């Protein structure tokens, strides 16, 4: 069963009881959106890159009728998506980044190495290039850089070499084969809490979906679209995303557009982690648009 992460913290910072227009930039299965609507949001615009997720969100939010607008699009195009709907400013923006539970659990999406399935990894299967195609076209140096930068894998060169060599023999088409190649390439030194393939799968997923590309620009544009005293909440699931969010919010605060609400990122409670282990790596940062800020 899908459970949205850090719902009480999201509601605390976004304060939907104020009413107004709220945007869930990664609506997923609609869990956060439902909570915002139930807590008083007048209108919710839900954006997602994944058409499958939008269909599920539509079913979950049908009771809210025309208070909900669901949009197939990339959250990085927030301004264009809002302007196309005649929305100049909003009262709250939520971005719950990373891969969703539905994408991890759904068969044939290729995000998880716990099942052997086609190596796709696209959040939006209506466009873009699959992980299998990107691996087939990549040279060893490019792949090593991707795995090191996006996966923080210290054996990145060894893993990249193994993937490229295996691909020359036979194209890598499935998650199971890729995971086996990575596991064999990484030296084993005793027990490890995480599967050796974890970092490489994260890196390739980020690469395929361009997850870090334009994140700083999105945060700047999202802050600019907030009405005075509007709120912004971002939930990240790995250090690379969190680093971008932290530095971008600090820069925006220095420039005078926002006030950061979270001196340090908030993390899930032990009770939530016990109930929903996938929440373990979540970090939440929040900000408020200055009352005096003027939109450029």
Task: Quote the mean pLDDT of the chain.
Answer: 93
pLDDT value for 228: 95
> Does pLDDT of 292 surpass 70?
no
Nearest partner of 222 among 22, 13, 53, judged by Cα: 22
226 confidence band (pLDDT: 50, 70, 90): very high
CATH number of 7-98+212-289: 3.40.50.150
pLDDT digits (tens, 9 = 90+) for 251-275: 999 999 899 999 999 999 999 999 9
Q: Report CA dihedral (205, 209, 215, 221) to the nearest 10 degrees.
A: -150
Give the span between the Cα atoms of 254 and 287, in whole angstroms. Answer: 13
pLDDT value for 188: 83
Residues of the chain with pLDDT > 70, as a percent, come to 97
3-state SS class at 44: strand
Strand order in the sheet with 226-236: 68-72, 43-48, 21-24, 90-96, 226-236, 283-289, 258-260
Give the span between the Cα atoms of 284 and 61, in whole angstroms. Answer: 24
pTM: 0.91
Over range 195-205, report the average pLDDT: 95
pLDDT value for 138: 97
pLDDT digits (tens, 9 = 90+) for 115-168: 999 999 999 888 889 999 999 999 999 999 999 999 999 999 999 999 999 999
CATH number of 108-209: 1.10.150.170
Domain range annotation of the chain:
7-98+212-289, 108-209
100 confidence band (pLDDT: 50, 70, 90): confident
pLDDT value for 296: 44
């Amino acid at each position: 069963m899908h459970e949205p992460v850090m719902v009480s913290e999201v509601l605390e910072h976004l304060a939907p009881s104020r009413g107004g227009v709220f945007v869930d930039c990664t609506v997923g299965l609609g869990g956060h959106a439902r909570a915002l609507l139930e807590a008083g949001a007048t209108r919710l615009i839900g954006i997602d890159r994944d058409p499958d997720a939008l269909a599920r969100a539509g079913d979950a939010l049908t009771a809210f009728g025309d208070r909900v607008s669901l949009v197939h699009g990339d959250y990085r195009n927030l301004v264009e998506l809002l302007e196309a709907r005649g929305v100049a400013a909003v009262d709250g923006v939520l971005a719950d980044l990373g891969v969703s539970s539905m994408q991890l659990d759904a068969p044939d999406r290729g995000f998880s190495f716990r099942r052997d399935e086609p190596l796709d990894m696209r959040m939006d299967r209506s466009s873009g290039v699959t992980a299998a195609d990107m691996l087939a076209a990549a040279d060893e140096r490019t792949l090593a850089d991707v795995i090191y930068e996006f996966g923080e894998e210290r054996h990145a060169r060894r893993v990249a070499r193994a993937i490229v060599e295996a691909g020359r023999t036979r194209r890598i088409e499935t998650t199971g084969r890729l995971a086996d190649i990575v596991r064999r390439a990484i030296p084993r030194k005793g027990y490890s809490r995480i599967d050796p393939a974890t970092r490489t799968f994260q890196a390739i997923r980020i690469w395929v979906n361009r997850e870090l590309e334009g994140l700083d620009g999105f945060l700047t544009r999202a802050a600019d679209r907030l009405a005075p005293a509007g709120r912004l909440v971002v939930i990240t699931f790995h250090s690379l995303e969190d680093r971008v969010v932290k530095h971008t919010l600090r820069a925006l605060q220095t420039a005078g557009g926002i006030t950061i609400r979270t001196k340090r990122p908030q993390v899930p409670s032990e009770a939530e982690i016990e109930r929903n282990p996938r929440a373990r790596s979540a970090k939440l940062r929040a900000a408020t648009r200055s009352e005096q800020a003027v939109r450029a």
